[in-house]
Structure formats: structure tokens, C-alpha cells
């Protein structure tokens, strides 16, 4: 799909506005949620055929109100530069504006140098050492879920496995019960994919987490992320109640959606490419490198930053208050960064993708996500024979800050 040109449109139409400092020839429409095809990664990659930066009248994140547009960077090098220059491209504008409040997700919505004070105590939460200790539990849970469906010879992958394994593991880490998993996932879907219900969902999650924090404060549960967050310090002072809430909120939402979406796209690829299924069955030692390539080929996150001062960068004038989108879907498909990015090579090396972002806000849960996907593929291939997508399936994409799909029906 050729990236649509919009320079013949008026400066204002409907509920969107193009600021006066945006050249008309750089206006395109891409909010990572509207008009997406069943293959969104290939569709978004088409924007590499146009300018390296353009302006979309709508953003995937309408912080402070619907109708705010965003600059969209397409080159991996520019996206890295934007993510690393936190003095110009700020994360500090809270998503809680969507519910009429101003508390921040910690440490995502705090800029350096203050950011380091909040990130330091969080680093140990999901460190490689801690993830190593979790692997036996991951394998047990994956095996149980697969054994429960293998004799059915079919499943809807996302409901039966894709959301069950990572979400249950994360809720265990949080010290929360998984009996309300469906409700938790509904909240995540609204916050990430539905701009109209985002504020309502955030308010409900906040109320739920406030109860959890109160419970853990009264009855600490050693080894759980909520109890640990209650003991965090920013430098030499304890986190405030609002900062504990912001930390737990970020961990909660981050654990409910991104790995589910990644698993969905990875397993869809394997279902559509039996030759690569077979390679991994015969050579399970390839799985870690294969997972890195699948993360590169099917990243799911689009981040947003707010320009904190007028600046000329990436060949355009950006004004204070402008939103800038840095999408992993664009950076990992950049032909200037990767040779033949449209080809999925499970042995690709080097593979310097940014599926987990760059800079100080690099994904806190990257080690957990990698290990969960590696274990899921390994245990699935051990137990399920050659599988494929159910014939006649029409995929529905869920867009927004995290790209996903509604269903993935598999048969074997």
C-alpha cells in the first residue's frame, strides 16, 4: 500500500488540525490504529517509500485530548536519536491526562536525570538472574496449557495459550490472583487499543491497584512485585504513595499485553511457514536466535514523546508541545538498517533491532519477554505436531500503542 499523500487537504478537517509549521507536502495519515490490514507490519513498512519524517494529523496517543497529531519518524537511526535525546523529546507528559489526572507511570513518564533515581530500584525486579529462576515455572505452566488442548487438534491460540501463559506468570509475580484474567485483559485492550474508553479503563485499574497496594501494605508477600515496590526508594527517600501507584500500574499494564501480542505474531508466522517450524523442531538450539528475528520482524510497540523546546531536527521544524512517534514497526523494517528487512531469516546476525526500545526507557521486561517466548515455542514444538492457520481465517488487527490481533485459530 503506497503511503497516502494528503497535501491537497485543508489545514483543518473534522476533528484534526495540521499546525502551521508543518509543510503540506509532509502530511500523511498513520495513527497505528486506523485502516490497518491483516498484515500491519508489511503495511506500515510501505511508509519507508516516502519521506523519512512526516506528520500524521492523528496520533496513536491522544494525551490531553483527541485530535492531536504527531510527527512520525521512519528511519531506525532517527528513532534511536529521538529516544536517546530525552532533553528534547520528553516522556514526562502523563497518560493519566486521559482520566483528568496528572500522576505518572514510573519510571516511563519521568525524564533523566530524575529518571535514574526511579529506574535503579526497578532494575533488579526483572533481572536476568531472576528470570533464570522463573524458567522452570514457565515450562511447567506452558506444558500444562498445551497438554490441555493438544488432543483437540485445534485451538484459538490467543485465548487458549497466548494470553494464558504470560499473563498468569506476570500476575503471579505481582502477587495477584489470575481468576479475573479476562477482566484484566479487557482493561489492557481498552487502554492500549481504544482511545475512547482509555480514561474509563485507567480509572478502573487505578481503583483496583489501590486495593492491591493497601492489601500488600497490610500483609506483605515476600517476593511479589507489589510488596517490593512498597519498599522502593528514589535516592534516599521512599517512593510516595502516588509513585508506588505509578510503578505498579506500569508493571501491571506492561505485563498484560505486549508479550501476548508478540506470541500471537510469532506463532502466526510459524503456522504459515512449516519449513521454519521443522527447522526449529530439529534444531531447538536455534530458538533463541529465531526469537530475536521474530521480535525484529513483528515488533508491536509504538512510543510517543513530546517536544520540550522548539528544535530543527530530522530535516523539519518541530515546535514545543508537538508529539513525535517512534515506532518499532518502522525502525525494524528500515532497509538502511537491515539488509532485506522483508525477509525473515531465523539466523540473521547481527540483529540490532529495537523491539524493546533504546535509551534510558529501554523495556524493563525485555528479559522476561524473551524467555517467555523462547519457552513457549520450545514447549509447543515438543508437544504439538505441524500446525497451521485454520483455512479461511480472516485476521483482524488491533492497533494503537501496542499492535495485536483479535484471534489466531490454529489446527494440527
- pLDDT on residue 5: 37
pLDDT per position as a tens digit, 249-264: 898 888 888 999 999 9
Which of the pair, 257 or 317, is modelled with greater confidence? 317
Whole domain around residue 365: which residue ranges? 12-411
> Does the model's pTM come out above 0.85?
yes
Q: Taking Cα atoms as reference points, which of 214, 219, 218, 187 lies closest to residue 203?
A: 187
- pLDDT on residue 9: 40
Give the total number of structural domains in the chain: 1
Report, as residue numbers or ranges, the catalytic residues. 195, 257-258, 363-365
Share of the chain above pLDDT 90, in %: 75
Residue 138 lies in a domain: yes
Query: Is pLDDT at 6 greater than 60 in this prediction?
Result: no
- pLDDT on residue 15: 65
Residue 403 lies in a domain: yes
Query: Is pLDDT at 3 greater than 50 in this prediction?
Result: no
Please, which pLDDT band fits residue 195 given cuts at 50, 70 and 90? confident
Residue 7 lies in a domain: no
- pLDDT on residue 60: 85
Average pLDDT, the chain: 91
Average pLDDT on 41-55 reads 97
Grid-cell match 490531553, residue found: 64
- 2: how many CB neighbours lie within 10 A of its CB? 8
Q: Are 234 and 117 in contact (CB under 8 A)?
A: yes
Average pLDDT on 29-53 reads 95
Which of the pair, 99 or 402, is modelled with greater confidence? 402
- What is d(CA 201, CA 208) in angstroms, rounded to the nearest whole number? 11
Q: Are 71 and 323 in contact (CB under 8 A)?
A: yes
Residue 392 CB partners (closer than 8 Å, separation 6+): none
Average pLDDT on 329-344 reads 96
- 25: how many CB neighbours lie within 10 A of its CB? 11
DSSP 380-399: HHHHS-S-EEPTT----EE-
Residue 315 lies in a domain: yes
Q: Taking Cα atoms as reference points, which of 86, 2, 24 lies closest to residue 316?
A: 24
- What is d(CA 166, CA 258) in angstroms, rounded to the nearest whole number? 9
> How far is CA 111 from each of CA 71, 95, 104, 174, 329, rounded to the nearest angstrom?
20, 14, 11, 25, 24
Which ranges of 194-337 does DSSP label H, i.e. alpha helix?
A: 198-218, 225-230, 241-272, 274-282, 287-297, 328-331
Q: Are 39 and 403 in contact (CB under 8 A)?
A: no
Residue 4 lies in a domain: no
Residue 78 lies in a domain: yes
Q: Are 355 and 349 in contact (CB under 8 A)?
A: no
> How far is CA 21 from each of CA 18, 55, 193, 230, 290, rounded to the nearest angstrom?
8, 11, 29, 46, 44
Residue 39 lies in a domain: yes
pLDDT per position as a tens digit, 61-82: 765 555 689 999 999 999 999 9
Residue 164 lies in a domain: yes
CATH number at residue 242: 1.10.630.10
Amino acid at each position: 500500500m503506497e503511503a497516502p499523500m494528503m497535501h491537497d487537504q485543508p489545514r483543518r478537517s473534522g476533528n484534526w488540525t495540521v499546525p502551521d509549521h508543518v509543510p503540506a507536502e509532509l502530511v500523511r495519515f498513520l495513527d497505528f490504529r486506523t485502516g490497518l490490514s491483516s498484515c500491519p507490519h508489511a503495511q506500515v513498512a510501505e511508509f519507508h517509500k516516502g519521506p523519512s519524517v512526516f506528520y500524521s494529523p492523528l496520533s496513536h496517543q491522544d494525551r490531553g485530548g483527541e485530535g492531536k497529531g504527531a510527527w512520525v519518524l521512519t528511519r531506525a537511526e532517527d528513532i534511536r536519536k529521538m529516544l536517546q535525546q530525552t532533553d528534547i523529546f520528553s516522556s514526562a507528559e502523563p497518560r493519566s491526562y486521559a482520566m483528568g489526572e496528572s500522576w505518572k507511570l514510573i519510571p516511563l513518564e519521568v525524564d533523566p536525570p530524575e529518571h535514574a533515581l526511579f529506574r535503579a530500584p526497578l532494575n533488579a525486579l526483572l533481572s536476568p538472574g531472576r528470570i533464570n529462576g522463573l524458567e522452570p515455572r514457565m515450562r511447567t505452566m506452558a506444558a500444562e496449557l498445551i497438554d490441555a488442548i493438544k488432543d483437540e487438534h485445534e485451538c484459538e491460540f490467543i485465548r487458549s495459550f497466548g494470553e494464558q501463559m504470560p499473563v498468569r506468570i506476570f500476575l503471579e509475580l505481582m502477587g495477584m490472583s489470575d481468576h479475573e484474567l479476562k477482566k484484566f485483559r479487557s482493561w489492557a485492550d481498552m487502554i492500549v487499543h481504544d482511545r475512547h474508553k482509555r480514561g474509563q479503563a485507567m480509572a478502573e485499574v487505578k481503583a483496583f491497584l489501590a486495593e492491591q497496594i493497601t492489601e500488600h501494605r497490610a500483609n506483605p508477600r515476600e517476593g511479589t512485585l507489589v510488596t517490593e515496590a512498597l519498599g522502593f526508594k528514589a535516592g534516599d527517600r521512599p517512593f510516595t504513595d502516588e509513585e508506588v501507584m505509578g510503578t505498579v500500574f506500569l508493571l501491571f499494564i506492561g505485563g498484560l499485553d505486549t508479550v501476548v501480542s508478540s506470541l500471537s505474531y510469532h506463532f502466526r508466522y510459524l503456522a504459515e511457514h512449516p519449513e521454519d517450524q521443522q527447522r526449529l523442531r530439529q534444531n531447538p538450539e536455534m530458538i533463541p536466535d529465531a526469537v530475536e528475528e521474530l521480535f525484529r520482524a513483528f515488533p508491536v510497540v509504538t512510543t510517543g514523546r513530546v517536544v520540550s523546546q522548539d528544535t530543527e531536527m530530522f530535516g523539519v521544524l518541530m515546535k514545543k508541545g508537538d508529539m513525535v512517534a517512534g515506532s518499532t514497526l518502522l525502525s525494524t523494517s528500515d532497509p538502511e538498517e537491515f539488509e532485506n528487512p522483508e525477509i525473515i531469516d531465523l539466523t540473521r546476525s547481527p540483529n540490532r533491532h529495537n523491539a524493546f526500545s533504546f535509551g534510558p526507557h529501554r523495556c524493563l521486561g525485555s528479559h522476561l519477554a524473551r524467555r517467555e517466548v523462547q519457552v513457549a515455542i520450545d514447549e509447543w514444538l515438543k508437544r504439538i505436531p505441524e500446525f497451521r492457520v485454520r483455512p479461511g481465517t480472516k485476521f483482524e488487527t488491533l492497533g494503537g500503542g501496542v499492535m495485536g490481533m483479535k484471534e489466531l485459530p490454529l489446527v494440527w
